[in-house]
Amino acid sequence: MNKKASGKSISIHFIWPVAALVLLLALRGLLGGSQAEVGGEIYQNYCASCHGEEGKGFGELVPPLAGADFLAQNQDKLPCIILYGIEGPIEVNGITYNQPMAGLGFDELGLARLSHSQIQQLINFIQNSWGNKGAEVSRQQVNDWLKECSKPSF
């Protein structure tokens, strides 16, 4: 009798931490991970092939995002660049680039690939990675910038 009771209390002790962990993981799944993680994943999927894992760009063909003066000066254009692409020539850190970048916002059927919130998370990841220290951009800010948006040319 005694044995049974103590066995039960042990299993109850085990249940709570496990239940809490399960709940935490479920919540994290629901919220889709932290902003930085989601932004980083989108960067890997859509940008890293050209701009590089470390945001260094590729020679004189693809400009860097890490420490890029152009990016720092054109933060408000970033949502547009992501959606619609950009056509140069542009100067980044003293080097002139002139290869068009296709927009990544829409698939071949014209359907949106990235939501406004994904764009926001991507921007915050880029602005705060590889030594970049941009101001945190809010969802409202991204929405406002996108309202003014058409394919930017420089």
Q: Which of 39, 63, 79, 124 binds ligand HEC (CB under 6 A)?
A: 63
Closest CB to ligand HEC among residues 71, 142: 71
- Are the beta carbons of 43 and 126 closer than 8 angstroms? yes
At residue 17's C-alpha, the angle toward residues 16 and 21, to 5°, is 115
The DSSP annotation for 69-132 comes to: HHHHHTGGGHHHHHHHEEBS-EEETTEEE--PEEP-SB-TTS-BSS-HHHHHHHHHHHHTSTT-
- Residues from 110 through 139 that contact ligand HEC (CB under 6 A): 126
Candidates 46, 56, 75, 141; binder of ligand HEC (CB under 6 A) is 46
Stretch that binds ligand HEC, among 8-16, 20-28, 80-88, 142-150 (CB under 6 A): 80-88
Binding region for ligand HEC (CB under 6 A): 46-47, 49-51, 62-65, 68, 70-71, 78, 81-82, 86-88, 90, 92, 97-99, 101, 104, 126
